[in-house]
Structure 1
Amino acid sequence: MKLFTIVTTLSLSLASWASPQFQRRQTNFTVGQIVETSSGPVAGHAAPTAPEVSEYLGIPYAQAPIGDLRFAAPVKFAGSSLINGSNFGFTCPALPSTGSSPTAAEVAAANLTEVGLEFLAVTTSPDVVYSEDCLYLNIWTKPQSGESQKAVMVFIYGGDFEGGSSSIGVYNGGVLADQEDVVIVNFNYRLSILGFPGNPTAQDNLAFLDQRLVIEWVRDNIANFGGDPARITLFGQSAGSSSTDFYSYAWACDPIIAGMILESGTIDSFTLPYSANDSAAFWYDVTAAVGCGNASTDSATLLTCMRNVDVNSILAAVPRSGINAAQSAFGPTVDDIIVFSNYSNLTPASIPVVVGNDNYESGLFRTELALSGGVFPDSVWDMYELSGYTCPSGLRANYSLAANNPTWRFRWFAVFPDLDISSEAGAYHGIELPLIFGTTNSFSTVNVTADEITFTAYIRGAWVAFAKDPVNGLTTYGWPLYDPAEETLIRLGFDNATGLNLAFPMLYDAGCANATSLLDLEISFLG
């Protein structure tokens, strides 16, 4: 806690010391101008969605994790050559798709809407290029107007730790940077076995080290882009949200960040973390499948072999059947350094928290299952909702209160026509992201309604109020601090209305004491 105070104070002092020179730079800032960074000078360009915003894409923050750096901790990238920030960097290799395009009958059975079809096309076939040389970040900023040092929002995408990319259109930060006077950053991190190898004789949880290195890069460089290194908010969705929460414990004494927003994921979500033994078993399943040996093989020889196997062969060998059809075989693994076996006795970083989930997270997964002909009763989906999202959100809010951190809790209800993917999806997993980023048009051609425009301004205003002042911003915005015994659960877009709508948390948490564990539930799914 004391170290956090020292770091924050030092950051503020450095910002004040550099202020006159920095503000002169702001006045003369031209869109896309070259910016000096520890990775080298970066040339940007005008963001296509917001011509006054400077977009800097494909900035390397770590050396390519290939050769001896495959299955190793990231190594900081340092360079002096000009970086052309015109294009996104490569996307980190992901597990190959196991599905095929749905038939017309399957689409009809899933009650997919026009938006659902568009959404499906984007999510099942993202326009990305895969390569292990993928550790890049992207920045959207507008230094020539607004605050001379802007709040910074760093986003982590989801994807069950086995998929995802910072270059997917929904996550584009141009609109948010343009309309809300903040600097937006997103980035790639390693996935599946490349990010969480489970090797018992080497460093694990590499993806979390990638994420930490990004935060350090932002701290060291963001002032040159008009950002305030003392006001960095880390936010994520799904696995990205869980990553954010894991981060708050792993670097509790030196978080760098000033606040965090957790959207549909915490340390208690899903079936994480994995035990070291379970992850090691999966690691050796893959090493044996690709011909590199098993637990009895010399560890150095085995690792050298794995570093020389084609990456596609490695990913193809990752288990995908049984429970691993629903839950990635490789993910956060207990090492009691970055990921811990027992969080009940640990204190998270001393920073404010916004935590919440969508009203019907299951709607997305129910729709996906229906597309393949699968059906589960409502009771199963309701329990999945409770165990995977509602209860973990409540637990994390309580952990935050126990640590005396300012805490707000939300539940998302809004479903507008241009986001409605099926008649049964409701306020599904991730529905909030296009509204927060202003990127609904990245997959939907349905017209935006007046109510949606009003609500979008409201919700973006809340996220940014927190980023600009994590301690007081939401209180000033009118949101009450969370109290599990009071009417303080913020229902966003209830009946698609804008404004404050409050409920008692127990209205949704009542079943948590008897909730089936998510692992048992997923096993029953696969029967």
Structure 2
Amino acid sequence: MHRFVVSIATAASVLPFFFATLVTTASQVNTTSGLVIGHPAPNRTGVTEFLGIKYAEAAVGELRFAAPKRYIALPGTVYYASDWPPVSKFPNFTEPSGLKVWKNFAAQINNPSSEDCLKLNIWTKMPCFAEKKPVFIWFHGGRFQIPGPHSPFYNGQYLSDAEDVVVVTPNYRLGILGFSGAPGIQQNAALLDHRSVVEWVRDNIAGFGGDPSRIVIFGQSAGGSAVDYYSFAWKRDPIVSGLISHSGTSLSFNPNTVEYAQRIWYNVSQAIGCGGPNDDAAAVLVCVRAANVTTVMAAAAKVPALPTIALAQATFHPTIDNSTVFGNYEELSASGAFAKIPYLVGNTDFEAGWYKLSAYGAQIDLTEAQWDLFNQRAFTCPSGSSAKSRVLENVPTWRYRYHGDWENLRLYNGTAGLGPRGQDVSGLRNTAAENATSKHMMGAWAAFARDTKMGLTEYGWPAYNETGNTLVRLGYNNSATPSFVSPNTYDGACPAKNDPLPGQGAF
């Protein structure tokens, strides 16, 4: 069944029997986005999933590139959401799982494209709520370029079912639509989308059984950096109670300067005939906003990237505006200029496995030592530095390193995939150890969300510090039992001053 939005009056007059059956058998919640009607999740039928709830107006016309405008439904609006779109065809990989892992992680599953994309998905156990549940909001990764929440990697039904929590996965704007660099307007629309999602969840999540005082934002790669960015941008009014950065923090890469962001903006505006830096900036913006979005995206795709040591850096990504994004995160971290919210941070042992595919396609041949440096400077060292800054401010902090190497998540020979959710993304069954590792990790994340100050300590994880065995190793030698080692085991080669340049291209 396709997604549709109707008014109660229209539906009742046109489809009385169907509509009456629908509203009495499906789970339904009144929200600022209308009455939303969910359905049982396909693999965890005790969980209700709500797909495609609109949280902001379509970013078209004057709203293209602009801060999001909150969507408020007309009285009587009903929204019913169906399942995900079909999968598209991709090239062969040398491992049987590799094709599906790549395709699903990159969300290359034939999703229709639209600027009316500011929507979110929710998974929760309904309808009985003994007590309000902790809430997770997931900011997907993908270099701020790759679509995310439709990926099976990010399906919230499993975490919701296993730990009785509410899981939210939003869309947000990507590439030039989220990070235009256009002069004269508020920058980093995508990060403002994140804030809009948090505010929507605060205002509506109680109807889904969620506790608005226990909202945790978490994300991976670019999403992990966005979580950390959020703590600096909204330090006085964070709303959320916990932060989890997977494989990326504010120290992981260098944001765009204003000068560079405007240069690539005008590269696009000139390419589509809207004028350049010598023309009236407001008129140029009006013209680009009126242009066909596919024309804009095609021009943006041709903008040359900055040179890097490893892989090409994504062009349209976070830009320094000293409001949502800053250019001196190391100094700000050292001074404690972030929200003092409990923090869980970590990365995987072999981040380069994914990026080697891009390098292969670009005919880049790096040595293993160069890949190790790439891993270290984009992931390991920023995780350690971000954790250290929290500890110095007495913020409850935990740090992990993930080592799992599961056959059903391998991209190619000798290289592991991205985490213990292999069965859905590759079609190959999980091993018992993989399931046990997944169970432990879901338990840890849920313990953190239930009580961000003490939950992980009670779960058996040591609070992080640099001198003790406080780095939690997960999936080490594919063991489901965590081990605890000194951070220096992996941080010993990190420079005194954070330097993400050798890792540029990871974000």
- Flag whether TM exceeds 0.5 (same fold): yes
- Note the 1:373-412 alignment, pairs <5 A: 373-412=363-402
1:359 aligns with 2:342: no
Aligned counterpart, 1:93: none
For residue 175 of structure 1, the aligned residue among 158, 162, 167 is 158
- 1:31, CA displacement in angstroms? 7.1
- 1:57, CA displacement in angstroms? 1.1
1:280 aligns with 2:262: yes
Q: 1:185 & 1:322 partners in 2: Cα distance?
A: 33
- Note the 1:31-430 alignment, pairs <5 A: 32-79=26-73, 80-87=75-82, 102=91, 107=93, 112-123=94-105, 125-145=108-128, 147-270=130-253, 272-318=254-300, 319-323=302-306, 326-343=312-329, 344-345=331-332, 346-370=336-360, 373-426=363-416, 428=417
1:511 aligns with 2:493: yes
Residues 449 and 515 (structure 1), Cα distance of their counterparts in 2 relative to 1, 3 Å cut: farther
- 1:494, CA displacement in angstroms? 0.8
Q: 2:118 & 2:83 partners in 1: Cα distance?
A: 11
Q: 1:122 & 1:73 partners in 2: Cα distance?
A: 29
1:443 is paired with a residue whose SS is helix
- 1:154-176, Cα deviation, whole Å (9 max, x unpaired): 10111101122212222111121
Residues 322 and 136 (structure 1), Cα distance of their counterparts in 2 relative to 1, 3 Å cut: closer
Q: Quick one: which amino acid aligns to residue 87 of structure 1?
A: S
- 1:74, CA displacement in angstroms? 0.6
Residues 410 and 31 (structure 1), Cα distance of their counterparts in 2 relative to 1, 3 Å cut: farther
Aligned counterpart, 1:25: none
1:317 is paired with a residue whose SS is helix
Residues 117 and 85 (structure 1), Cα distance of their counterparts in 2 relative to 1, 3 Å cut: same
* Aligned CA-pair RMSD: 2.4
Does the Cα contact within 8 Å between 2:48 and 2:124 map onto a contact in 1?
A: yes
- 1:81, CA displacement in angstroms? 3.8
Residues 398 and 113 (structure 1), Cα distance of their counterparts in 2 relative to 1, 3 Å cut: same
Aligned counterpart, 1:20: none
Does the Cα contact within 8 Å between 2:180 and 2:188 map onto a contact in 1?
A: yes
Q: 1:484 & 1:340 partners in 2: Cα distance?
A: 26
- 1:33, CA displacement in angstroms? 2.0
Aligned counterpart, 1:17: none
Stretches of structure 1 that go unaligned for 5 or more consecutive residues are 1-28, 91-96
- 1:30, CA displacement in angstroms? 8.4
Residues 520 and 260 (structure 1), Cα distance of their counterparts in 2 relative to 1, 3 Å cut: closer
Q: 2:136 & 2:347 partners in 1: Cα distance?
A: 19
Q: 1:311 & 1:342 partners in 2: Cα distance?
A: 33
1:114 is paired with a residue whose SS is coil
Aligned counterpart, 1:16: none
- 1:314-369, Cα deviation, whole Å (9 max, x unpaired): 11112454537721111111111111122213521111000000000011111343
Does the Cα contact within 8 Å between 1:412 and 1:491 map onto a contact in 2?
A: yes
- 1:260, CA displacement in angstroms? 1.0
Residues 421 and 226 (structure 1), Cα distance of their counterparts in 2 relative to 1, 3 Å cut: same
Q: 2:451 & 2:279 partners in 1: Cα distance?
A: 53
Residues 337 and 372 (structure 1), Cα distance of their counterparts in 2 relative to 1, 3 Å cut: closer
- 1:123-154, Cα deviation, whole Å (9 max, x unpaired): 46323111011000111111345642000011
2:426 is paired with a residue whose SS is coil
